[in-house]
Amino acid sequence: MPLDPAIESGDRSHTLAPVESVAQISTLLLDTDPTLDPALARTARQAAAEGVVLLRNDGTLPLEGHRVAVFGRVQIDWFAVGYGSGGDVKVPYIWNLLAGLRDAGIQVDGELADRYASWAATHRPTFTATWGQWPHHFPEMPISAGDVAAAALRADTAVVAIGRAAGEARESVLEPGSYYLTADERALLDAVTDAFAHTVVVLDAGNVMDLSWLADYDRRIGAVLYAWQGGMEGARAVAGVLAGELAPSGKLTDTIARRYTDYPSAPNFGHPDANEYVEDVFVGYRYFETFAPERVLFPFGYGLGYTTFAVTVVDQEKDAASLRLTVEVTNTGSRAGKEVVQVYAGGPDGALGKPARALVAFAKTALLQPGERERLELTVRRDHLASYDDGGATGHRSCWVLEPGEYPVFVGTDVRSAAQVAAFHVADLHVVRRLTEVAAPVVPFERLTLGREVDGSAVIAREPVPTATALRRDRITAGLPREITPTGDRGIGLDAVGSGAASLDEFIAQLSDDELALLARGDVTMHSPLGAPGNAGVLGGVSESLRAKGVPPITTTDGPSGLRLSAYASLLPSGTALASTWNTDLVRELAALHGEEMLRKGSDVLLSPGMNIHRDPLCGRNFEYFSEDPVVTGSIAAAVVGGVQSVGVSACPKHFAANNQETNRTRNDSRVSERALREIYLRGFEICIREAKPKTLMTSYNQINGVWAHYHHDLVTTVLRDEWGYEGVVITDWWMEDAVDPDFPALRDNAYRVRAQVDVLMPGGVKTEAGPQSYADDTILESLAADDGLTRGELQRTAGNVLRLALALKPVVAARTLEG
């Protein structure tokens, strides 16, 4: 969502004043946030550390015992998070790298550190007040080769910190200072690697950036650490890893290619009007491992540690439905560490071209001491290897199918190194699940598929994408709900429903059309007086009459990296940092502590996790999201939702669906095949919905094959509710686009939305060309009175969804009211 105009100042100065020591934090918190839970800060640091990915190490790391010179102004002005609603948290403190290294006991060259600190203090970063125009990087401090050489006489190892940021409405761009290094950064690396025998590069960034320059330095750069933006404790976590206090165990959740043009999405990203998802199901490593392994610099799932491991499959149990693997991991090195076991599967070519490998399971060990071993149990379900036939190539259109042939299973510690350990044999084509066509393209285009050379090597082929054939009007008409006969007010309160003294239908029967319409929108604006100051919006009991009937106002807040309120709140590791831990238990623990902070701060619904796919490395909000892979995305999202909701509040996964760029995001059309939609862009949401059952879900701004997500009956009703069994509330992203239902002209805007079962417009007001306005429209009530318009049953259905959420959250709201 955009920031409220009242707070779109672009001033992030509160995120740029670092702490110098652990002792200073206690003093800071007395003045800012005495409610901050030390356990939350400790767990956030652990998560940030486990999310750090060690890409290269020739023995230079860890730094213990070394005298270290630290270069790069980002050591002071650390990027702790990306921009926009996913990062704009009023944080009580932020560690920077210099302070973190000192805290970790590293012998930092004081003369150089003082020079950077003094220069940074007089050259503060400039944040424009213009929305979406924040800096991708900060200019470097001028430093001569002679100064670098002098530092090399005082220290034996150099650390060079390079920083990048992007965010909401702020894509990364193919320019120096964003995706590419600047001339000053190259000059700094040249000087440092010439003067020092040992150089470490720390990348402080939320998005993948170009790393092709590493080849130019070869062994002159001994270690590379990708430090995904880790929140308030992130730089201290990175310092702990550099020092050897914390063991690196992060793994890449994206492929890092040699060049941007190697990514299959590159020719079809960033268009302001529409992007054709030509790469289809061959996203990220699915493309590279199938067609272009030589174009990979660092493969998906890759990450080093300070020790070594032996990974052995010690037992297999297979039947027709599943394969259970027992994998023993032994620490064969001299330091403690953790390892991630990854399981991939392939499949026969068949009529549906398939990626060479696709992740199907993963697990992470505990911290293993040298010589210690642990056994992990991983299960592969055969049905999860199915492909979706969106064009009838197998004779079974709109079905998940297993084509006949061999489905090899690979085990390893990244996608490239995984070795085959087993296989499923499918003798005859098997239909796993019969569905119906949904959200198919209406504009024809060609998609990538798998072909073979004479020698059997994979080659890119093209085929027309199957286009829509389903009749939407008939589907909707057949699914219209019955109307609950209105009774007028009978004095039944929502508490009576909660206690079992009355049914929800009896409560809904009392509601007037006006009250039903009120339940279908929020309290018009952000910063609702009904919620905690600085809230994103309030839904539910937005009128006196609804509150009199016991419907509580439900407060929503951003977001993925922390609570965006007027009060101070914790700044947590970014989505990519969390996913790079591959540690669902740790993420769930952190999310539960975050849920406890929601209780303390007055938030009922956390607008998190962000879980769109990293289709392209330039997407500005990739830092909020998890991975190019849907299994990682769904598993980490389920951990977040499960943790948050374990304490009684609600998480709200977003943005449903195919929100993969920020450029013209409210108008852009994601043109994607139904197969890719189901296998890649919806799959993570499905995992999260089935495993964690979030109470709320947010739609995206963009169109999916010509229909805005907040009007998308195919996605929200047919897939989300009917196929996946989702029973929670669906809300819009903040404000929405005007449109008329093409099949039911009497429905427009909010009425059109309600028919799709997108329950609540947030924050509730009308969006005009002049900007969001503080009033609500009457399209719902107008449609109720029109021929072929919205039915009262549909509006009652939406009310039921919102009221079930209110019942689930009512104890939390009541407790907060009593405390207040």
Tell me how far CA of residue 438 lies from CA of 682, 722, 728, in angstroms. Answer: 12, 12, 21
CA angle 700, 703, 706 (to 5 degrees): 160
Count of Cβ atoms closer than 10 Å to residue 572 Cβ? 34
One-letter amino acid at 523 equals: D
Instruction: DSSP letter for 81, please.
Output: S
Reported as type and span, the H/E element at residue 584 is helix 584-601
Q: Are 68 and 198 in contact (CB under 8 A)?
A: no
CA angle 324, 357, 431 (to 5 degrees): 70
How far is Cα 61 from Cα 71, in angstroms, rounded to an integer? 17
Helices (H), 200-318: 214-217, 234-243, 285-291
List phi, psi (to 5°) of 151.
Answer: -65, -30
Q: Are 95 and 236 in contact (CB under 8 A)?
A: yes
One-letter amino acid at 357 equals: R
How far is Cα 248 from Cα 107, in angstroms, rounded to an integer? 21
Q: Are 79 and 206 in contact (CB under 8 A)?
A: yes
How far is Cα 496 from Cα 43, in angstroms, rounded to an integer? 40
How far is Cα 26 from Cα 23, in angstroms, rounded to an integer? 6
Backbone φ/ψ region at 223: left (φ over 0), alpha (ψ -120 to 50), beta? beta
Active site residues: 733
C-alpha torsion sign, points 564, 569, 571, 576: negative
Helices (H), 196-228: 214-217
Q: Are 360 and 343 in contact (CB under 8 A)?
A: yes
Q: Residue 558 has which token pair?
A: 């951003």
How far is Cα 328 from Cα 707, in angstroms, rounded to an integer? 48
Please count the CA atoms within 13 angstroms of the CA of 794 that sit on its side-chain side. 27
